[in-house]
Structure 1
Amino acid sequence: MFDFLKPAAPAYQNLTPAEFSAALRQLGTVLLDVRRPDEFAGGHLPGAVNIDVTAPDFGSRVAALDNTHPTLVYCRSGARSATAASQLSKAGFGHVANLLGGVLDWPEKLVR
């Protein structure tokens, strides 16, 4: 009826852990852990880059990434990474995906 009254759909995809795992195997994919550095140090997905979404320099740090590559983001539960995915999409990143359930639902072993 009135499309402008509907909330805008996110410009990123939410992926299940199985879908996220498959997406990780694509060449050129950037894996972004948006948790705090202490959380990252406690265990993260292999190959992840840590940029804390709550840090004041988040925007400038992600601006240094190549926005033409698929970018996969995750956090502890999926909430902060959804915020980060939205910010990345608004910043011109074309292919962004968020891990539903975060590392809490991640079935594979984390690395330190």
Structure 2
Amino acid sequence: MFQTNTPQITVDEVQKAINEKKDIILLDVRTPEEYSRGKIEGSINISVENISDQISTAVPDKNKTIYAYCLSGSRSEVAVAMMKQIGYANVFSMTSGLLMWRSKKYPLV
């Protein structure tokens, strides 16, 4: 949908940022039910349907680096496009989402 102009980040880059304790926000844009079944440690959950209403409260600093993810990368692309429209400058969609994360055997909690 927004693939051509949505900034992407790979699962390897996300894992590296976590390991290096970079100052990032991990944003899970799946449903609360999906989130409760396994998430990347330290992530926050705002489902894609609620991004416009809730992101400004959850992350008031629009210059903060945000890595959004979902199961496959589709919803996170939509969420990133929405956040860019309301002024977030450093937002990225994790390419291939948790499907790729799991295939790399990276941890979930």
TM-score w.r.t. structure 1 length?
Answer: 0.81
TM-score w.r.t. structure 2 length?
Answer: 0.83
1:53 to 48, 52, 55: 48
**Structure 1: where are the runs of 5+ without partners?**
1-6
Structure 2 counterpart of 1:17, which letter?
A: V
Moved over 6 A (4+): none
- Deviation at 1:48? 0.4
Matched position secondary structure for 1:98: strand
1:23 equivalenced with 2:21 (yes/no):
no
Cα deviations by residue, 1:78-109 (Å, 9 ceiling, x for unpaired): 00000001111111111111111100110202
Partner of 1:63: 56
Greater helix content = 2
Inter-CA distance 68–87: structure 2 relative to 1 (3 Å threshold): same
1:101 equivalenced with 2:96 (yes/no):
yes
1:37 equivalenced with 2:32 (yes/no):
yes
- Deviation at 1:23? 3.4
Inter-CA distance 74–53: structure 2 relative to 1 (3 Å threshold): same
Computing the radius of gyration from Cα coordinates, the structure with the larger value is 1
